[in-house]
Amino acid sequence: MYALALSLESIIIEYLTIYFVRISPIVLSSLSITLSGIMLLSVGSIIFKNYNDLIKIFTKSWKSLIMASLSLSLGIYGWYDSINRIGASKEALIAAPIEIILIIILARVFLNERLNKFQIIGIFIGSLGFFLSLASDVPFDYFNNPNLSNFIVGANINSIFHTVFSLVSFGDLEAILSAVGFAVGVLFLGKLVKKHSSIQVAGASMFLSGMILVIFMVLSLLYETAFTPVQYLNESPSQVELLSVHRNLVLLFLFSLIPFIGSLSYVIGLRRIGASLTATIGSSNIVIILVIQIVLKELGYPSHLPENIFLATFGCITGFLGIFVIHMSDFITAKSRRYYSR
């Protein structure tokens, strides 16, 4: 359920921001995440029937909460805006492996956690999937270019780096920035979950992240109103006009149910099957998104797929394999500890 919710959220973001409503990523992310946070907080209050822990999150653990929310708001906006630029498939292919790798590296640097052999192998495999995904917008004709081999032989390091960076778009950089935001946010959320219930931590962090994004949304709407030339405003409706349409408001509310269901499924997964298995299942969304979008395109529906499907597919499989190896190392370690403790 968690992986499916993540996949549907990414695909629907693409349709709402590019093809149908054309609502801006900052508006969609700020309002939907805020609503999802309110829903999670409501569910948490109904389940525990105790507001003391929730109050403690905002009063005693406010520093970790603010840092987690700032990082998550950066990750969420980068996620939504990257999909608007490069599509759901490529965003997931880039962000998923690099996010897990960053979490492992940050945990090693700041929390002094040791890297085992499985994690090191997984990092190398995931990195290969990441670079293959970055190059997935390079068409086959580029590799068939007879001048390419001559260029590689005669090129120096500077020209090679220039060529590599020329293949990276702004949307690719946003996907990487999104992974950085989520990775840093996960570390702070880990501190909060040790002291408070996971569902209330998820609800509080989503709500505060949404409110941070709302502030940026208001600033962007004010900028749009003040500095956009009148002729451009007449050609296309503003975001305020789009939000004044009742159908769009209903779509926005229905869409906010998806991150709510995804977060709730993640919390339930943590309790029932553990963090490693939940994260591994969730990372399968990169496969689900790519498959769904290929099917949609074959059926005649618009889908923003990478230019080179072969590289995208290979990067998808390699990236997921790297994530699987990283997370399964934790799962195997936990199983072995239980076995030897008997």
Per-residue pLDDT of the chain (342 residues), as tens digits, is: 778 888 999 999 999 888 887 888 888 899 999 999 999 988 888 877 777 778 888 888 889 899 999 999 999 999 999 999 999 999 999 988 888 888 888 877 776 777 778 888 888 988 898 888 888 877 655 555 555 455 444 445 554 455 556 678 888 999 999 999 998 888 888 888 888 888 888 889 999 999 999 999 888 878 766 765 655 545 555 565 666 667 778 888 889 999 988 888 877 776 676 666 677 777 888 899 999 999 999 998 888 888 888 888 998 999 888 888 887 766 555 555 554 455
**Which residue range(s) make up the domain with 270?**
2-139+166-340
Tokens of 160: 């090679």
- The answer to the question of residue 151 being in a domain is no
Instruction: For residue 157, tell me if it sits in a domain.
Output: no
Give the count of domains, the chain.
1
pLDDT of residue 247: 77
15 in a domain, yes or no?
yes
Residue 211 lies in a domain: yes
Rounded-to-integer distance, Cα 142 and Cα 214, Å: 42
Asked whether residue 203 is domain-assigned, the answer is: yes
Q: What is the pLDDT of residue 339?
A: 46
Sign for the pseudo-dihedral over CA of 154, 158, 164, 170:
negative
Assign 314 to helix, strand or coil. Answer: helix
Q: Are 36 and 252 in contact (CB under 8 A)?
A: no
Question: Is 148 within the bounds of a domain?
Answer: no
Q: Which of 301, 254, 223, 279 is nearest to 2 (CA)?
A: 279
Strand, coil or helix: 169: coil
Residue 94 lies in a domain: yes
- Rounded to whole angstroms, the Cα distance separating 93 from 285 reads 9
Using alpha carbons, select from 32, 105, 76, 72 the residue that is nearest to residue 201.
Answer: 72
Within-domain flag for 144: no
pLDDT given at position 191: 83
